[in-house]
Amino acid sequence: MDMGESDDNAQVPWRQRTGQYVRDRIIVADDALDAARRRLKARLGFDRPLHIAAYRGYGDGTAIELMGRVLAERPGNGPLEGAGWWDNLLDTWRRFESDEVPGAPVRARFGRHEVEVTSDHEGYYAATVPGSGPPTTLWEDATVMLADGTLTTPQPVLRILPEARIGIISDIDDTILHSGITNWKVAAQLTFLHNARTRKPLAGVAALYHALQRGVAGAGPNPLFYVSSSPWNLYDLLEDFMDLNGIPPGPIFLRDLGTDTGKFIRTPGHGHKLERARALITRFPHLRWVLLGDSGQADAELYAEAALEFGDRIAAIYIRDVDPETDSSFDTAVDGHLQRIAGTRVPMLRAADSTAIAKHAADLGLLARDAIAAVEHDVERDRQRPEQGAAALAAAVGAPPAQHPDGAPPGAG
């Protein structure tokens, strides 16, 4: 170590140095534990790949990006209508206890091109496959398999069409999906004791996102991407939720709960959302971008950073107000970021609901004005659906749940 490096270390506060030392030790211990588990699985014959979780990919005519995970067990069945809290809790435990297969050679094929990659020590693989010319349809399938040709699995790929002019990046928790993230009891109840059939979307989300995807005057369909601080273990739940609620599909970017650099322990706050937005905005320079988030997390701060960095490449920013009936510290924080970008040409709105977003987006020419009525209709319809958040909160605090107008408790049916 040279003198300059020693001087630099001396200037780092001791608490920061201690914290870094502890994190480094945790990473070493985690790697050692993973290695021991892999040796035990190999001896018992439990390290054989039995499933490839192929997450939705994306790309254009030049290349496509694929990501997935090689696992040592097949997934269970989809969410059941009558599943109780115990069934949902067991399903959640199985998700987080997934057995990954590291070092598995994976072949990825798209059109006439094929590449081979190897899964990392958490079982994840990432592959960039050359494109096959300008796309003509929004979705196509790539194929992934083990190098020996087994476990052949289709992998959906979102294609960025040449006529698209707008890309949409949306948060998930409390932006499309009611998660109660601002109340840890509600968030825990909804995460662990509910499934994709019992979770509730934010009112009007499906109609709003379909309108944004369609665009205006033939400038579409526009690509949608979803980002979240939830772990990859919940991917199937989120995918099922969007399908069941008619929300247009798109690649979903989540976080790994490992201790590696850039993963859960090393990634401060929700910064990975901004990293993902940066990567997409840079990857597709011909698109302008609509960013959607909520006031309950750091979305306003992150998206304001994107506005300052990319300027009018950002077409609009929409922040859903998680408590529109009250003035709160969440509102104050969002309004502060509104002021930060006041000097830019990026419109940013703290919105009470999907209708407010639709009207503002129509004024900007981001969606067709005749789509507003469909969004208003869906807002009213969705508001009549059982309120899962209220039921979860009542269960969390031990209070009896409020009655639905038809006499059934919220969440029934």
Q: Per DSSP, what are the bridge partners of residue 105?
A: 118
Q: What is the DSSP string of 246-274?
A: TPPP--EEEE--S-STTSTTTS-TTHHHH
Other residues' Cβ atoms within 10 Å of the Cβ of residue 102: 16
**What pLDDT score was predicted for residue 410?**
33
Would the pLDDT of 201 be above 80? Answer: no
- Predicted pLDDT of residue 392: 41
Q: How many residues does the chain have?
A: 413
pLDDT in tens, 108-152: 999 999 999 999 988 999 999 998 888 989 999 999 999 999 999
Identify whether the C-beta of residue 147 lies closer than 8 Å to the C-beta of residue 86: no
Examine the pLDDT at 340 and tell me if it is beyond 60: yes
- Token code pair at residue 328: 């709160």
* pLDDT at residue 271, rounded to an integer: 77
Residue 73's pLDDT band (cuts 50, 70, 90): confident
- For residue 317, the model assigns a pLDDT of 98
Task: Report the pLDDT averaged over residues 69-96.
Answer: 58
Q: Of residues 398 and 258, which shows the higher confidence score?
A: 258
Q: Is 65 exposed, middle or buried (0-12, 13-18, 19+ CB in 10 A)?
A: middle
* CA–CA separation, 321 and 341 (whole Å): 18
Element (H, E) at 290: strand 288-294
- Asked whether residue 295 carries a pLDDT value surpassing 50, the answer given is yes
* Residue 395's pLDDT band (cuts 50, 70, 90): very low
Output the pLDDT for position 29.
60
Comparing 299 with 323, the larger pLDDT belongs to 299
Q: What percent of the chain has pLDDT over 90?
A: 50
Q: What's the pLDDT band for 11 if we cut at 50, 70, 90?
A: low
- Distance, CA of 164 to CA of 172 (rounded, Å): 23
User: What distance in Å separates the CA atoms of residue 274 and residue 259, rounded to the nearest whole number?
Assistant: 20
Lowest-pLDDT choice from 189-193, 210-214, 299-303: 189-193
pLDDT tens-digit map of 204-237? 999 999 999 999 987 779 999 999 988 888 888 8
Alpha-carbon distance of 69 to 380, in angstroms, equals 39
Q: Is the pLDDT of residue 1 over 50?
A: no
Which stretch of 55-64, 100-109, 176-185 has the lowest confidence by average pLDDT? 176-185
pLDDT (tens digit per residue) in 358-369: 999 999 999 999
pLDDT band at residue 277 using 50, 70 and 90 as cut-offs: very high
pLDDT at 309: 96
The Cα 189–Cα 204 span in angstroms is: 23
d(CA 275, CA 293): 15
Please determine, for residue 199, whether its predicted confidence score (pLDDT) is greater than 80.
no
Instruction: Grade residue 44 by pLDDT with cuts at 50, 70 and 90.
Output: low
Average pLDDT, the chain: 78
Query: Does the pLDDT value for residue 308 go beyond 90?
Result: yes
User: What is the predicted pLDDT for the residue at 196?
Assistant: 40
**Kind of pairing between the strands at 57-59 and 153-159:** parallel
Residue 268: the pLDDT is 46
Tokens representing 157 are 């790929």
Where does 36-122 show beta strands of DSSP type E? 51-54, 57-59, 63-71, 105-110, 113-118
pLDDT-derived band at 22 (thresholds 50, 70, 90) equals low
Domains and CATH numbers, the chain: 48-161 (2.60.40.10), 163-413 (3.40.50.1000)
> Can you give the pLDDT at residue 233?
82
- The mean pLDDT value for 335-339 works out to 93
Whole-number pLDDT of residue 174: 84
**Reported pTM:** 0.76
> CA–CA separation, 46 vs 186, rounded Å?
36
For 170-181, the pLDDT digits (tens) are 999 888 887 644
What's the mean pLDDT in 322-350? 89
In whole angstroms, what is the distance from residue 280 CA to residue 169 CA?
A: 9
